[in-house]
Amino acid sequence: MQNAILKIDGMTSEGCADLVATVLGGISGVGDVRVSLLNCLATVQYDERHTTPQLLAGSLARAGYPAQQAGTSGGCCGGCCG
């Protein structure tokens, strides 16, 4: 499992954050999802055999929340080269 950190635009309420969590949680290969309304970030644990940060961001964009990858972690060395 890998972790992706996504910077999300357009979240203005807890309802938005809940919808973002629901969208991400519904993607095949996604495990844990944590959304921070305060920081406009989502941390997503995902199985790299089933999805990618780009696909996660694309799903959010289709839901009306443009997102871009802000970081990764996991893998052999804690994500420093991810």
10-residue mean pLDDT series, the chain (82 residues): 94 95 96 95 96 95 94 48 40
User: Which candidate, 4, 35, 7, 5, places its Cα nearest to that of 19?
Assistant: 35
- pLDDT for 45 equals 97
Rounded Cα gap, residues 31 and 33, in angstroms? 7
Map out the domains of the chain with their CATH numbers. Answer: 2-74 (3.30.70.100)
All residues at 6 or more sequence positions from 51 whose CB lies less than 8 Å from its CB, including other chains = 27, 28, 29, 30
- Could you tell me the two tokens for 16? 């938005």
pLDDT at position 73 is: 56
- Is residue 27 within 8 Å of 55, Cβ to Cβ? yes
